[in-house]
Amino acid sequence: MRFELTTDQRDFAASLDALLSAADSVAVARAWAAGDHAPGLALWERLAEQGLTMLATEATPVELCVAFEALGRHAVPGPWVEAAAYLPLALGAEVDGVATVAMPYALDADVADQVYAVAGGALHAATVGAALTSVDRSRHLFEVTVGDAVDADGDLAAAHDLAVLATAAQLLGAGERVLADAVTYVKQRKQFGREIGSYQAIKHKLADVRIALDFARPLVHGAALDPTPRAVSAAKVACADAAYLASRTGLQVHGAIGYTQEFDLSVWITKIRALVTAWGTPAEHRARILDSLVGSA
């Protein structure tokens, strides 16, 4: 099957890229990591005005994936998966303001207007507890205490799969950004009088990343068109593997500078590492794929 975005979907992606590029999303992510949420909340409002919080209920999963790929490409901080993908389907209504849900920890619960948790197959209100540390400094995780059940008529299983798919799209966008930055860098960095990008070993590493991302993208699109549990898990596994390969390769070609917090590459490397295990580890999703194949045999 050959899948291509429609003109409207491509225009939507271009408008998000333009908005996020002008917003200096890296500076927003760094401020968020440092505890200054004002720039991130201002960007949240602008993106909400563009309809991102309505995509789960008012659009198709394809548009949602387009949006989350842009969020990953620009390293936008905040509980977007929770508020714009999971909770609208779990609650059966669009979320008003910033909201998050513990899976098992609540992302950015310190700035959320509403905090939820899932227990006993139902959605509950929750209160914020102790803070935890994430490898991604812009992801602030918190323990929660489960409270009363929420009167919601949403589909928790469908909500979970949409959140997994949104995370996969974020990983795809982050991997694409790392690859683009790595290609730019190897054309500038010289060693022994030559750009390091002219060496075959470097070309092969970057080509491997390009192939991995290109193979992951159709799985995201396929899962968006038919979001079965198997398709969603396959997309998450492929995007996690491809983005992680991009982060490792990007770090290798940049050298020691890639480790430093001051260098922008670190923003995506740490985000990718955190997203790989968010909303289900690769092992959990591989097990779900296996169970679906064995069960259908």
Residue whose pair of structure tokens reads 């909303």 in the numeric block: 279
* Per-residue pLDDT band at 296 (split at 50, 70, 90): low
Q: How many CB atoms lie within 10 A of CB 256?
A: 8
Across the chain, mean pLDDT equals 93
Mean pLDDT for 243-247 is 97
Calculate the CA 26 to chain-centre distance. 15
3-state secondary structure of 255: helix
pLDDT of residue 1: 56
What integer pLDDT is reported at residue 61 of this predicted model? 96
CA neighbours within 13 Å on the CB side: how many for 175? Answer: 32
- Tell me the pLDDT band of 2, cut-offs 50, 70 and 90: low
Q: What are phi and psi of 15, to 5 degrees?
A: -65, -40
Beta-sheet strands, E only, within 150-279: 190-191, 194-195
Report whether pLDDT(176) > 80: yes
Contact 73, 179 (CB under 8 A): no
Q: Tell me which residue of 120, 128, 9, 127 sits closest to 69, measured CA to CA.
A: 9
Query: Is 90 exceeded by the pLDDT of residue 128?
Result: yes
Instruction: Take residue 240 and report the two structure tokens written for it.
Output: 């996690």
What is the per-residue pLDDT across 250-286, written as a single tens digit (0 to 9) for each?
A: 999 988 787 788 889 999 999 999 999 999 999 999 9
Residue with tokens 């190897």: 186
Amino acid 28: pLDDT: 97
Q: Does residue 297 have a pLDDT over 50?
A: no
Residue indicated by tokens 């003109």: 7
Q: Which of 70, 114, 113 is nearest to 90 (CA)?
A: 114
Of 43, 37, 38, 9, nearest to 25 by C-alpha is 43
pTM: 0.95
Nearest CA among 85, 80, 83, 48 for reference residue 271: 80
- Domain map (residue ranges) of the chain: 156-295
Band of pLDDT at residue 112, cut at 50, 70 and 90? very high
**Class of the CATH-defined domain 156-295:** mainly alpha
Q: What is the pLDDT of residues 74-95, one digit of tens each?
A: 999 999 999 999 999 999 988 8
Answer for the pair 238, 169: CB distance below 8 angstroms, yes or no. Answer: no
